[in-house]
A and B are shown apart, each in its own frame.
Chain A
Amino acid sequence: MAYRFNRLRDISNRLQDVVKMQSRLAATATEDGMKSNRSLWFALGTLAAGGLATGYLLQPNVKAADLELHPPHFPWVHKGPFSSLDHAAIRRGYEVYRQVCAACHSMDQLAYRHLVNVAYTEDEMKAIAADAQIEDGPDDDGNMFSRPGKLSDHFPKPYPNEQAARAANAGAYPPDLSLITSARHGGEDYVFSILTGYEDPPGGCTEKEDLYFNPYFPGQYIAMAPALYNDVMEYSDGTPATISQMAKDVCTFLKWAAEPEHDDRKRMGMKALTLLGMLTFASYYYKRHKWSVLKSRKIVYRPSPHS
């Protein structure tokens, strides 16, 4: 304890020396008249900043102008600047997508091979791909045919085109989910809130045909029926399939789908910040080194006694 305290005092003494030295150097360049001016400006600046801060803290503005409930910020495990995605959750999220979401939503940017060594082994993924029937062709007679999927195939689409999707969903088009967490304001927080936010219309709001009340959806009425119910599916690893568990897993999967480079990006960012952080000290030292001559010189004007 005493050692630490001494050390702290040591450092603060050294800091004071640096400050003293700085001000002495600065004083050679400035005159006494400018000094009082400077402290006046300093006082004014402090007063203005303090006033602005107080005003900001006291302002009663609640931003209730728009009829939209912004999603809260959930504590995702991948939220930190150096936090990777949870790959077990990606795996479960893909199960949710395949068993629930894929009935209406396409993910046409994704191929089966993308999940290899991300959440599935190559053999597992080959088996999953082979379960799907992919349209291929034309064959020698010019006809399209179906065959079991391969790793290089993209996820099959539930509808052949947008018109068919609209016709099957009361005029609403289920958006492609490949990039959905990047394409929606609020990202995975928004998707999670939509999936778990269904409720009965409160007083003053009417029931609408083919629409469902969801406060997080802009306009409050969403054409997607609540898709997740407790135990609507079963996880292969035995995780209890509650609504929030499924929503969290599928959001992690969608986050990965939209940003497959997520983990590498953060890993590289960590390396870059560390390296540049070290270089900051080096360049600071180098700057002091080069400027030391200029900072410590003194220019004196001596009028000639003969003029």
Chain B
Amino acid sequence: MNLGRTIYNALFRRTSTFVVTIVVGGFIFERVFDEGMDNVWENMNRGKLWNHIKHRYAEDADEADE
């Protein structure tokens, strides 16, 4: 409860900090969620995606233009 009170006082109490919390929190959540779900997707489809098979065909020149 104490932690909730601290967070409320520090972040949610004033509109200015509340807005900053929303924007920053949204950004962090989006990055974590997006990267996390992409990882889940790659794991579920391991071996089927182009990312997983392209090393067979592209030797070295590929990394330069990525």
A77 at interface by CB-CB < 8 Å: yes
Shortest B40–chain A CB gap in Å is: 7
A270 at interface by CB-CB < 8 Å: yes
A84 and B45 contact, CB distance less than 8 A: yes
- Cross-interface CB contact of A119 among B38, B50, B61, cutoff 8 Å: B50
A153 at interface by CB-CB < 8 Å: no
Secondary structure class of chain B's binding surface, majority of residues: helix
Nearest residue, chain B, Cβ from A120: B57
A263 and B49 contact, CB distance less than 8 A: yes
Residues 14-57 of chain B: 1 if any A CB is under 8 Å from the residue's CB, otherwise 0? Answer: 00000000000000000001100110110011001110111001
- Cross-interface CB contact of B57 among A86, A121, A271, A274, cutoff 8 Å: A121
Shortest B23–chain A CB gap in Å is: 18
A117 at interface by CB-CB < 8 Å: yes
A85 and B41 contact, CB distance less than 8 A: no
Nearest residue, chain B, Cβ from A122: B65
B41 and A87 contact, CB distance less than 8 A: no
A82 at interface by CB-CB < 8 Å: yes
B62 and A271 contact, CB distance less than 8 A: no
Residues 104-133 of chain A: 1 if any B CB is under 8 Å from the residue's CB, otherwise 0? Answer: 000000000000011111111000000000
* Interface residue total, chain A, C-beta cutoff 8 A: 24
Shortest A198–chain B CB gap in Å is: 30
Distance A84 CA – B54 CA, assembled complex (angstroms): 16
B57 and A124 contact, CB distance less than 8 A: yes
A77 and B48 contact, CB distance less than 8 A: yes
A-B contact count (CB 8 A): 47
Q: Give the residues in chain A near B49, CB-CB below 8 Å.
A: 84, 87, 263
- Cross-interface CB contact of B50 among A77, A118, A123, A267, cutoff 8 Å: A118
Distance A263 CA – B7 CA, assembled complex (angstroms): 41
- Contact A270 B37, CB 8 Å, known A121-B57, A122-B65, A123-B61: yes
A230 at interface by CB-CB < 8 Å: no
Distance A83 CA – B44 CA, assembled complex (angstroms): 7
B58 and A271 contact, CB distance less than 8 A: no
Q: Give the residues in chain B near A205, CB-CB below 8 Å.
A: none
Distance A85 CA – B38 CA, assembled complex (angstroms): 16
Q: Give the residues in chain A near B52, CB-CB below 8 Å.
A: 87
Q: Give the residues in chain B near A118, CB-CB below 8 Å.
A: 50
A224 at interface by CB-CB < 8 Å: no
Nearest residue, chain A, Cβ from B40: A270
- Contact A87 B65, CB 8 Å, known A77-B48, A270-B37, A271-B34: no
A88 at interface by CB-CB < 8 Å: yes
- Cross-interface CB contact of A270 among B41, B48, B53, B57, cutoff 8 Å: B41
Q: Give the residues in chain B near A1, CB-CB below 8 Å.
A: none
A275 at interface by CB-CB < 8 Å: yes
Nearest residue, chain B, Cβ from A77: B48
Given contact pairs A87-B48, A87-B52, enumerate 7 new A-B contacts (beta carbons under 8 Å). Answer: A83-B48, A117-B54, A123-B61, A263-B49, A267-B38, A270-B40, A271-B33
- In the assembled complex, 25 residue pairs joining A and B whose CB atoms fall closer than 8 Å, in A order, are A77-B48, A78-B48, A82-B44, A82-B45, A83-B45, A83-B48, A84-B41, A84-B45, A87-B48, A87-B53, A88-B53, A91-B53, A117-B50, A119-B50, A120-B57, A121-B58, A121-B62, A123-B61, A124-B57, A263-B49, A270-B37, A270-B41, A271-B33, A274-B37, A275-B33
